Amino acid sequence: TQLLEQSPQFLSIQEGENLTVYCNSSSVFSSLQWYRQEPGEGPVLLVTVVTGGEVKKLKRLTFQFGDARKDSSLHITAAQTGDTGLYLCAAFANTGNQFYFGTGTSLTVIP
């Protein structure tokens, strides 16, 4: 079983549309990260959220950490073709003493 479940797994939208990606868990985390990965490259860190209820904005991207620090969402406004990629959430869990990654959301933005 996955510690972090992401949804949807695949998303294909038109340029200019909005979208939300979810990352859910039954575990509580002290922090959670979102990454974007392009084919053949390593994941690039987008944001780290630390406080329950925290909202962080990065241009057209809005990240939210759930009040209970078990879940997070990534919202993209007016998607652009450059947003295409694999979005991964990740968190460090004391159980197992390692980072866990979500299943990933593959986003394709069509011009």
- Cβ count within 10 A of residue 64: 17
Q: Is 73 in the site for another protein (CB under 8 A)?
A: no
Pairing assessment for the beta strands 85-93 and 19-24 based on DSSP bridges: unpaired
Q: Where are the beta strands (DSSP E) in the chain?
A: 5-7, 10-14, 19-24, 32-37, 44-49, 55-58, 61-65, 71-76, 85-93, 98-101, 105-110
Q: Is 24 in the site for another protein (CB under 8 A)?
A: no
| Interactions with another protein, residue window 89-108 (CB under 8 A) | 90, 92, 96-101, 103-104
Contact region for another protein (CB under 8 A) — 14-22, 44-52, 62-70, 75-83? 44-52
Q: Figure out which of the listed residues 8, 15, 45, 67 binds another protein, where binding follows CB under 8 A.
A: 45
Q: Is 109 in the site for another protein (CB under 8 A)?
A: no
Q: Figure out which of the listed residues 7, 27, 30, 80 binds another protein, where binding follows CB under 8 A.
A: 30
Residue at 39: amino acid letter: P
